[in-house]
Structure 1
Amino acid sequence: MSVKYQIAQITLVILAGLSAFPGSCSAIDKRSFINDDDRFMALRDAAYHDDAANAELHASALASYDIPSYVDYYRIRAHLLKASNTEIVEFINKYEGSAIADRMRNDWLSLLGKRGNWDIFDQQYPLFVVADDNQLRCYAVLSKAVKGQKVNIEAQNLLNAPRDYGDGCYTLVTYLTAIGQFTQSDLWTQMRMAAENGAQPLAQRIGKLLELPEKKITLLFDKPEKLFKQGPESNQSSRELFVIALGRIAKSDPSDAAALLSRFSNRLNEEQLSNAWAQIALQSALKLEPDALAYWVRADGATFSYEAYQWRARTALREGDWKLLKNAINAMPANLKNIPTWIYWMGRALKAEGKNDEARKMFAGIADQIHFYGQLSLEENGQKIGVPIATRPVSAEELAPIEKNPNMQRALKFYSMNLRTEGNREWNWELRKFSERQHLIAAELARKNNLLDRMVNTSDRTKSEVDFNQRFPTPFNESMYKTTQTLGLDMAWVYGLIRQESRFIMTAKSQVGASGLMQIMPATARYVAKKMGLDNFVPTQVNDIDTNIVLGTNYLNMVLTDLGGSQALASAAYNAGPGRPRAWRAKLTRPVEGAIFAETIPFNETRGYVKNVLSNATYYAALFERKPQSLKARLGIVVPKGMSASDAELPDESKQ
Structure 2
Amino acid sequence: MGGCVSQKKNKCYLGIALFHLSLGCTTSMAYASNEQFNDALSAANAGNVAQLDQYTLAMQNDVLGYYPEYFKLNTNLAMQPSSSIVQFAQKYPNSAMAEKLAADYVEEKVKQANYLDAQPVLPYVTNADTAEDCAIAQVRAKSGDSLVFAEYKDLWLSTNSNMPDACMGLNRMMSSSPLMTSEDKQQRLWTQLRAGQIGLAASTAQSLGLNISIAQLTQIQTNPLGYLWSAPKANDTDYAYLIFALGRLAESDLTAGLTAANRAAEGVPPAVQKYLYRTVAYIGGTTVLKNNFNRIVLNYFDASYGIPFSQEEAEIYARQAIRFGAWDSLIRAISVMGVTQQQESRWQYWLARADEQQADSSYKKQATTIYDSLAESGDDYYNLLAQERIGQKYNRVDNAQPLADDLQRVNQDVNFSRAFALRNIGAPAIYANREWNWAVRQAYLRKDDGLLLAAAQRASNIAWYDRAIYAAERTTNKHNYTLRYLTPHQSAVVLHSGNVGLDPAWAYGLMRQESRFVTNARSNVGAGGLMQIMPNTAKLVARQMGETYNPAALSDMNTNVRYGTYYLSMIQGQLNGNAVLATAGYNAGPNRALRWQPTDQPLPADQYIESIPFDETRNYVKNVMTNTIHYGAILGQGQQYMSKWMKMIPLRGQ
Q: Is the contact between residue 285 and residue 315 of structure 1 (CA under 8 Å) also seen in structure 2?
A: yes
Task: Note the C-alpha offset of 1:154.
Answer: 3.0
Residue 481 of structure 1 is matched in structure 2 by 494
Look up the SS of the partner of 2:110 in the other structure. helix
Task: Note the C-alpha offset of 1:117.
Answer: 4.5
Quick one: distance in 2 between partners of 1:225 and 1:68?
Answer: 66
Task: Note the C-alpha offset of 1:588.
Answer: 3.5
Task: Note the C-alpha offset of 1:140.
Answer: 2.6
Amino acid in the other structure paired with 1:257: G
Quick one: distance in 2 between partners of 1:423 and 1:215?
Answer: 53
Task: Note the C-alpha offset of 1:406.
Answer: 2.5
Quick one: distance in 2 between partners of 1:221 and 1:442?
Answer: 58
Amino acid in the other structure paired with 2:331: K
Amino acid in the other structure paired with 2:329: L
Inter-CA distance 549–151: structure 2 relative to 1 (3 Å threshold): closer
Task: Note the C-alpha offset of 1:284.
Answer: 2.3
Inter-CA distance 45–574: structure 2 relative to 1 (3 Å threshold): farther
Quick one: distance in 1 between partners of 2:329 and 2:388?
Answer: 24
1:396-475 equivalences under 5 Å are: 396-416=404-424, 417-434=426-443, 435-475=448-488
* One of 374, 383, 400 as aligned partner of 2:392: 383
Look up the SS of the partner of 1:549 in the other structure. helix
Quick one: distance in 2 between partners of 1:505 and 1:245?
Answer: 49
* One of 110, 114, 117 as aligned partner of 1:113: 110
Q: Is the contact between residue 449 and residue 478 of structure 2 (CA under 8 Å) also seen in structure 1?
A: yes
- If asked which structure has higher relative contact order (CA below 8 Å, sep 6+), I would say 2
Task: Note the C-alpha offset of 1:404.
Answer: 4.0
Look up the SS of the partner of 1:640 in the other structure. coil
Once the two structures are superposed, residues 618-645 of structure 1 have per-residue CA deviations (whole angstroms, 9 ceiling, x without a partner) of 11112223411110231010011244xx
* One of 555, 566, 581 as aligned partner of 1:543: 555
Inter-CA distance 206–521: structure 2 relative to 1 (3 Å threshold): farther
Amino acid in the other structure paired with 1:613: V
Q: Is the contact between residue 38 and residue 427 of structure 2 (CA under 8 Å) also seen in structure 1?
A: no
Identity %: 28
Task: Note the C-alpha offset of 1:463.
Answer: 3.1
Residue 620 of structure 1 is matched in structure 2 by 631
Residue 314 of structure 2 is matched in structure 1 by 309
- Are 1:347 and 2:352 an aligned pair? yes
Residue 257 of structure 2 is matched in structure 1 by 257
Once the two structures are superposed, residues 149-195 of structure 1 have per-residue CA deviations (whole angstroms, 9 ceiling, x without a partner) of 36553342453544363343333333333343334543453355557
Quick one: distance in 1 between partners of 2:146 and 2:173?
Answer: 13
Residue 304 of structure 2 is matched in structure 1 by 299
- Are 1:365 and 2:356 an aligned pair? no
Quick one: distance in 2 between partners of 1:129 and 1:555?
Answer: 43
Quick one: distance in 2 between partners of 1:527 and 1:423?
Answer: 36
Task: Note the C-alpha offset of 1:578.
Answer: 1.1
Comparing 508-517 with 403-412, greater Cα deviation is found at 403-412
Amino acid in the other structure paired with 1:280: V
* One of 606, 611, 633 as aligned partner of 2:644: 633
Amino acid in the other structure paired with 2:309: F
1:186-335 equivalences under 5 Å are: 186-191=184-189, 193=191, 230-231=230-231, 234-266=234-266, 268-286=268-286, 287=288, 288-335=293-340
Once the two structures are superposed, residues 300-352 of structure 1 have per-residue CA deviations (whole angstroms, 9 ceiling, x without a partner) of 12332222211212222221222222222122111111101111111112222
Once the two structures are superposed, residues 424-459 of structure 1 have per-residue CA deviations (whole angstroms, 9 ceiling, x without a partner) of 322222223431122111111211221111111111
Inter-CA distance 464–396: structure 2 relative to 1 (3 Å threshold): closer
Task: Note the C-alpha offset of 1:270.
Answer: 1.7
Q: Is the contact between residue 196 and residue 244 of structure 2 (CA under 8 Å) also seen in structure 1?
A: no
Inter-CA distance 248–526: structure 2 relative to 1 (3 Å threshold): farther
Look up the SS of the partner of 1:42 in the other structure. helix
Residue 22 of structure 1 is matched in structure 2 by none
Once the two structures are superposed, residues 93-152 of structure 1 have per-residue CA deviations (whole angstroms, 9 ceiling, x without a partner) of 332332211111112222343444445544432332223344434543663366373655
Quick one: distance in 1 between partners of 2:243 and 2:419?
Answer: 52
Residue 499 of structure 1 is matched in structure 2 by 512
Once the two structures are superposed, residues 484-507 of structure 1 have per-residue CA deviations (whole angstroms, 9 ceiling, x without a partner) of 111011211110001111111111
Look up the SS of the partner of 1:68 in the other structure. coil
Quick one: distance in 2 between partners of 1:40 and 1:214?
Answer: 53
Look up the SS of the partner of 1:365 in the other structure. helix
Quick one: distance in 1 between partners of 2:213 and 2:463?
Answer: 57
Look up the SS of the partner of 2:137 in the other structure. helix
Look up the SS of the partner of 1:426 in the other structure. helix
Q: Is the contact between residue 56 and residue 69 of structure 2 (CA under 8 Å) also seen in structure 1?
A: no
Quick one: distance in 2 between partners of 1:160 and 1:463?
Answer: 35
Quick one: distance in 1 between partners of 2:506 and 2:165?
Answer: 43
Residue 101 of structure 1 is matched in structure 2 by 98
Comparing 265-274 with 369-378, greater Cα deviation is found at 265-274
Quick one: distance in 1 between partners of 2:464 and 2:472?
Answer: 12
Comparing 344-353 with 200-209, greater Cα deviation is found at 200-209
Q: Is the contact between residue 247 and residue 283 of structure 1 (CA under 8 Å) also seen in structure 2?
A: yes
Quick one: distance in 2 between partners of 1:582 and 1:327?
Answer: 30
Amino acid in the other structure paired with 2:595: A
Residue 124 of structure 2 is matched in structure 1 by 127
Q: Is the contact between residue 43 and residue 59 of structure 1 (CA under 8 Å) also seen in structure 2?
A: no
Q: Is the contact between residue 447 and residue 455 of structure 1 (CA under 8 Å) also seen in structure 2?
A: yes
Task: Note the C-alpha offset of 1:421.
Answer: 2.6
Once the two structures are superposed, residues 515-549 of structure 1 have per-residue CA deviations (whole angstroms, 9 ceiling, x without a partner) of 111011111111211221112x2222211111111
1:99-178 equivalences under 5 Å are: 99-119=96-116, 121-137=118-134, 139-140=136-137, 143-144=140-141, 147=144, 149=146, 152-163=149-160, 165-178=163-176
* One of 603, 609, 616 as aligned partner of 2:614: 603
Inter-CA distance 485–411: structure 2 relative to 1 (3 Å threshold): same
Quick one: distance in 2 between partners of 1:205 and 1:59?
Answer: 49
Inter-CA distance 458–236: structure 2 relative to 1 (3 Å threshold): same
Look up the SS of the partner of 1:291 in the other structure. helix
Which consecutive residues of structure 1, in runs of 5 or more, have no partner in the other structure? 1-34, 47-51, 644-656
Comparing 253-262 with 344-353, greater Cα deviation is found at 253-262
Inter-CA distance 639–419: structure 2 relative to 1 (3 Å threshold): same
Inter-CA distance 296–399: structure 2 relative to 1 (3 Å threshold): same
Residue 342 of structure 2 is matched in structure 1 by 337
Inter-CA distance 201–612: structure 2 relative to 1 (3 Å threshold): farther
Look up the SS of the partner of 2:166 in the other structure. helix
1:28-67 equivalences under 5 Å are: 36-46=36-46, 52=47, 54=48, 56-57=50-51, 60=54, 63-65=57-59, 66=62, 67=64
Inter-CA distance 148–497: structure 2 relative to 1 (3 Å threshold): closer
Amino acid in the other structure paired with 2:627: N
Comparing 276-285 with 544-553, greater Cα deviation is found at 276-285
Comparing 317-326 with 442-451, greater Cα deviation is found at 317-326
* Number of aligned residue pairs: 600
- Are 1:69 and 2:70 an aligned pair? no
Q: Is the contact between residue 220 and residue 245 of structure 1 (CA under 8 Å) also seen in structure 2?
A: yes
Inter-CA distance 119–318: structure 2 relative to 1 (3 Å threshold): same
Task: Note the C-alpha offset of 1:601.
Answer: 0.5
* One of 489, 494, 503 as aligned partner of 1:490: 503
1:508-523 equivalences under 5 Å are: 508-523=521-536
Quick one: distance in 1 between partners of 2:236 and 2:175?
Answer: 17
Inter-CA distance 396–135: structure 2 relative to 1 (3 Å threshold): closer
Which consecutive residues of structure 2, in runs of 5 or more, have no partner in the other structure? 1-34
Task: Note the C-alpha offset of 1:281.
Answer: 1.2
Quick one: distance in 1 between partners of 2:143 and 2:232?
Answer: 37
Once the two structures are superposed, residues 553-580 of structure 1 have per-residue CA deviations (whole angstroms, 9 ceiling, x without a partner) of 1111111000011111111111111111
Inter-CA distance 446–461: structure 2 relative to 1 (3 Å threshold): same
